[in-house]
């Protein structure tokens, strides 16, 4: 993991790949385009760089892209398979990040159903592995991280230095979640709930307590809604259970990015909520 990622200097939107695509994701998506649509030609056709089959297959895909996507004259494709592929690759590697998703959608549209689903499944698997905020849903690439979720995390990561322990737990949660090579969902969840515990201790003025007593003290000071307090106490109970996250004897095999992201978003939102309630109650932060 890079220094900037370990110490939280990568913005939330970059870590979750919301407003961009890093080189690794772009390269992997291009590989899927090649293996799904172009390298399916017979070996003899791939060896001869000047052979472009004028039949259903790679040539027809080039023609469709040139005619319907690029809106260029199809005779500009030429007769070289390799040159046409290089031109398409140049576009793919240099276009804006959203242009990549536009082309992926376009390529998936008219494909035979089995071929289409295989391509879509492969793209979605790669998007998930690279922690992209987008997925194919019903044939369209849609954002799976809402703007409100991102803003909530960003707001919590912008807490003042007086709440640095809370901020650092959330930052570490994001770092563990967004690690492209070896994401640690288990400890990302632990860090998210630890942020709530840390804030509870600060607001309650009880540095050695645990979350439940801390929230009880916060409830008295801020008129915290009992249902919200109970909800996070139950979440904390899950993560503290002998078969849960914090003190587990063995890894939980079913934990996934969705679990870790839910906890990060939920805990960030609750942190922001508690901070506002504390400020209204006159608690110094």
Q: What is the pLDDT at residue 53? A: 40
Q: What is the pLDDT at residue 216? A: 77
Q: What is the pLDDT at residue 250? A: 36
Q: What is the pLDDT at residue 251? A: 53
Q: What is the pLDDT at residue 52? A: 40
When computed from its CA atoms, the radius of gyration of the chain, rounded to whole angstroms, is: 25
Which pTM does this prediction carry?
A: 0.64
Q: What is the pLDDT at residue 112? A: 57
In DSSP notation, 147-215 reads HHHHHHHHHHHT--GGGHHHHHHHHHHHHHHH-SSS--HHHHHHHHHHHHHHHHHHHHT-TT--HHHHH
For the chain (285 residues), the mean pLDDT of every run of 10, in chain order, is: 51 75 94 82 46 54 91 87 90 95 88 74 91 82 77 89 94 83 84 89 82 76 77 69 45 74 89 88 79
State the maximum Cα–Cα separation within the chain, in Å, rounded to a whole number: 78
Residue 236, judged by CB atoms within 10 A of its CB (0-12, 13-18, 19+), counts as buried
Q: Do 131 and 15 touch, CB atoms closer than 8 A?
A: yes
Q: Could you give the residue ranges of the DSSP H alpha helices within the chain? A: 3-6, 12-15, 23-33, 43-47, 58-64, 81-94, 97-108, 113-129, 147-157, 164-178, 185-204, 211-222, 226-240, 257-280
Fold of 148-280: 1.20.120
Any idea where the domains of the chain sit in the sequence?
Answer: 17-143, 148-280
Q: Do 200 and 31 touch, CB atoms closer than 8 A?
A: no
């Amino acid at each position: 993991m890079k220094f900037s990622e370990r110490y939280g200097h990568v913005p939330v939107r970059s870590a979750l790949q919301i407003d961009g695509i890093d080189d690794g994701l772009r390269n992997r998506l291009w590989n899927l385009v090649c293996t799904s649509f172009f390298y399916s030609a017979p070996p003899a056709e791939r060896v001869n760089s000047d052979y472009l089959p004028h039949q259903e297959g790679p040539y027809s895909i080039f023609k469709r892209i040139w005619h319907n996507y690029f809106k260029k004259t199809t005779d500009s494709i030429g007769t070289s398979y390799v040159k046409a592929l290089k031109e398409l690759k140049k576009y793919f590697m240099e276009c804006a990040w959203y242009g990549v998703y536009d082309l992926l959608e376009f390529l998936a549209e008219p494909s035979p159903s089995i071929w289409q689903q295989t391509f879509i499944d492969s793209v979605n698997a790669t998007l998930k592995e690279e922690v992209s905020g987008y997925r194919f849903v019903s044939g369209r690439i849609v954002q799976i991280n809402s703007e409100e979720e991102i803003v909530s995390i960003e707001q919590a990561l912008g807490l003042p230095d007086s709440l640095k322990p809370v901020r650092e737990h959330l930052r570490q949660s994001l770092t563990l979640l967004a690690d492209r090579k070896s994401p640690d969902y288990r400890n990302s969840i632990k860090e998210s709930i630890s942020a709530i515990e840390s804030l509870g201790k600060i607001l309650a003025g009880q540095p050695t307590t645990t979350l439940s007593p801390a929230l009880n003290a916060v409830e008295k000071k801020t008129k915290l809604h009992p249902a919200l307090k109970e909800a996070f106490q139950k979440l904390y109970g899950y993560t503290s259970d002998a078969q849960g996250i914090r003190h587990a004897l063995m890894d939980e095999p079913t934990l996934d990015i969705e679990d870790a992201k839910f906890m990060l978003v939920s805990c960030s939102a609750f942190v922001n909520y508690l901070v506002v309630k504390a400020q209204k109650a006159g608690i110094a932060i």
